[in-house]
Chains A and B, each alone.
Chain A
Amino acid sequence: MSIARFSPFELLLLKSRSQVDTATLLLLAWVLVHRQHISEGQRRRRLADVSAQFRHGHELTPVMSIAHSQDLQAIQLAAEVVRKECSKARSLSVIHKAISVATDDGALSIANHYILRFLADLLNVAPVTLATLFQELTGAPLSSPEDPSRDAYWQIHDPDYHARKAREAAAAEQKARQEQARAEQQQRQKNEREQHKQQKQQDKQRRQDEARRAREQEQQRKREQTHQQEQEQERARQRKQSEREQRSRGHYSHQQEQRQQQSRNHYSDQQRPSPPPDRTTRALSVLGLRPGATRIEVRHAYRRMAQLHHPDRFYTKSDQQIALASARFQRIKNAYDYLMKTY
């Protein structure tokens, strides 16, 4: 047994002469609460106005206070009652009333956009019907709700702020520009001073450089003379050696060629099973083999794996196990097919 007492709306609903009317009243009050730029007295009068035909037979004040408190459970209960009890024609009239309550003269608030659409979904009213109904009642087409989660919305609805911000930004920029100009002037003065200093230094360095270069040139000339002498000696020695080699080469050349050919053959033998591509390795590992297995080994491994994982072995087990086994078997078979094609 629940300890919770009956909520105010439940009591109201139980006391009401017509439950649908009470529930509709709450939903209309909910719409009214979310209407902007309207006083409390106007709201109450509007609700009394729209519920003139209702047969609920109780006060409107408690309904209004429940709507103000945003009691989600009460609204849910009202929505369930309305959905359960309303016929097609009646639900259209409820939507009709909701639209007229939401937009008497002013614009539809964003919250009411969503509430109206919720009611339309609740009462099975198609978007086309809602749009035509809205057009007939207000003379304006039902637009999509504006989006305050976007920058563009606030650009339109709060232009003062942006103007102020732009002005502030402009002022800041001007200030920055002035500071930059001052800094540039200072920099220029400093640069001029430095240039003077640098020119003096450069003159000094140039004089030093010239003296050093003269000294180096003299040294170079001496070194070149000695180098030429050495080169001549070297050339004479090389000539003698090459004559000796030509005499001995006629003997050796044949043997050397043979050896080279052999080594080339050996090299290409090693190259042929090029490092196996990724897919081959994977297919081999599916069959439980290492890379480099022979065709016969692959066939044996396939037979063994197929026997182990054939789905027919699992026919007594659950459906899921059979499905798993057949997936495994398919993978093994794919790997085997691929290897037979490439090997």
Chain B
Amino acid sequence: MRDLYQRLAISPEANEQDIKRAVTSCQHSVLRQDAESVFAVAERRAAYDTLHETVSDIGRLRARLGLTHGAHWQGDVANDFSMPPDQAVSRHDELIGRVGLAVSLYNRWQRFRGPWLLITVFTTGASVGLALGLALCLGLIPM
């Protein structure tokens, strides 16, 4: 499995005209023949594209997991689909970090819930009392 797009220096989203131009201008005769037979028929290109996507996903995974020099990753595939490691951190570490943050937020909420409850109860009680007193003063409520 080789990355024909990379070898022809085109993007996987290129339209048919661009591909045809790149194929005809290719200097390597064997590669040109292969590319012609893959890109000549739409179904073949679709099949190739699905596999291409999967294999490049695997290449990306291998780069992130540090498996770009594995014993099972040899030859053309390793040459064409090994990506440089990107800045993505370990997902597991990130998950643990986020869970830890959520836990600390929850803890803080639990710790502060008592006083806040007291405060809210007090303020609501006070406001109700004030309203009642005001109503009494204005004589809205008959004695």
Cβ-defined partner of B44 (8 Å) among A73, A122, A130, A154? A154
Residue numbers in A under 8 Å from B41 (CB-CB): 158, 161
A14 neighbours in B (Cβ, 8 Å): 99
A148 to B41 alpha-carbon distance, docked (Å):
13
Asked if B58 CB lies within 8 Å of chain A CBs, one says: yes
Beta-carbon contact of A121 and B72 below 8 Å: yes
* A232 on interface, CB distance cutoff 8 Å: no
A176-215: contact bitstring with B at CB < 8 Å (1 yes, 0 no)?
0000000000000000000000000000000000000000
Provide the residues of chain A in CB contact with B33, threshold 8 Å: 151
Structural contact, A80 and B92, CB atoms closer than 8 A: yes
Interface set, chain B 73-115, CB cutoff 8 A to A: 73, 76-77, 88, 90-92, 95, 98-99, 101
* B91 vs chain A, min Cβ distance (A): 4
Number of A-B contacts (CB under 8 A): 100
Q: Give the shortest distance, in Å, between A79 (CB) and chain B (any CB).
A: 6
A76 on the B face (CB < 8 A): yes
> Given that A72-B60, A147-B1 are contacting pairs, would A154 and B38 also be in contact in the complex, using a CB cutoff of 8 Å?
yes
Q: State whether A79 touches B47 (Cβ < 8 A).
A: no
Closest chain A residue to B81 by CB distance?
Answer: A114
Query: What is the predominant secondary structure among interface residues of chain A facing chain B?
Result: helix
Query: Which of these, B2, B71, B76, B95, contacts A77 with CB under 8 Å?
Result: B95
Cα separation A13 to B99 with both chains bound (whole Å) = 11
Could you say which residues of chain B place their CB within 8 Å of the CB of A66?
none
Contact with A along B98-142 (1 / 0, CB 8 A): 110100000000000000000000000000000000000000000
Across-interface contacts of B76 in A (CB, < 8 A): 147
Determine the distance from Cα of A274 to Cα of B34 in the docked complex, in whole angstroms.
57
Q: 1/0 contact trace for A1-24 toward B, CB 8 Å?
A: 110001000100110000000000
Contact flags B11-52 to A (C-beta < 8 A → 1, else 0): 000000000000000000000011011100100100110110
Residue of A whose beta carbon sits closest to that of B52: A149
Known A-B contacts A114-B55, A115-B58; the reply to A77 vs B92 at CB < 8 A is yes
Cβ of A127 < 8 Å from any Cβ of B? yes
B34 touches A122 (CB 8 A): no
Q: Is the CB of A148 within 8 A of B91?
A: no
Instruction: Tell whether A133 is near chain B: CB-to-CB under 8 Å.
Output: no
B61: which A residues are within 8 A, CB to CB?
72, 75-76, 79, 118
The CA of A115 and the CA of B99, in the complex, are separated in Å by: 30
The answer to whether A83 has its CB under 8 Å from any CB of chain B is yes
Residue of A nearest to B53 (CB): A70
Q: Which residues of A contact B55 (CB under 8 A)?
A: 111, 114
What's the Cα separation between A151 and B36 when bound, in Å?
8
| A118-B62 in contact given A13-B95, A148-B48 (Cβ < 8 Å) | yes
Q: Is the CB of A118 within 8 A of B72?
A: yes
Known A147-B2, A149-B1, A149-B2: A10·B95 in contact at CB below 8 Å: yes
Q: A110-B1, A148-B51, A154-B44 are in contact. Are A80 and B67 (CB under 8 A)?
A: no
Docked-complex contact B73 and A151, CB < 8 angstroms: no
> Is B58 in contact with A76, judged by CB distance below 8 angstroms?
no
Complex alpha-carbon distance, A10 and B97, angstroms:
12
> What is the bound-complex CA distance between A72 and B61, given in angstroms?
8
A126 to B71, CA, bound (A): 7
Q: Give Cα A117–Cα B62 distance, bound, in whole angstroms.
A: 11
Chain A residues, Cβ within 8 Å of B34: 149-151
Top 9 nearest A-B pairs (CB, nearest first) are: A121-B70, A117-B72, A77-B91, A80-B92, A151-B37, A149-B2, A111-B54, A151-B34, A121-B67
Residue pairs across A and B with Cβ atoms less than 8 A apart, 25 shown, are A1-B101, A10-B98, A14-B99, A75-B61, A77-B95, A79-B65, A110-B1, A111-B54, A114-B1, A115-B58, A117-B72, A117-B73, A118-B61, A118-B67, A118-B70, A126-B71, A130-B72, A147-B76, A149-B2, A149-B3, A149-B4, A150-B2, A154-B37, A154-B38, A154-B44
Known A70-B53, A147-B76; further 20 A-B contacts with Cβ < 8 A: A6-B98, A14-B99, A70-B57, A72-B61, A75-B57, A77-B95, A110-B1, A111-B54, A114-B55, A114-B58, A114-B77, A117-B73, A118-B58, A118-B73, A122-B67, A148-B44, A148-B48, A150-B34, A151-B37, A161-B41
Interface residues of A (CB under 8 A from B): 1-2, 6, 10, 13-14, 34, 70, 72-73, 75-77, 79-81, 83-84, 110-111, 114-115, 117-118, 120-122, 126-127, 130, 145, 147-151, 154-155, 158, 161
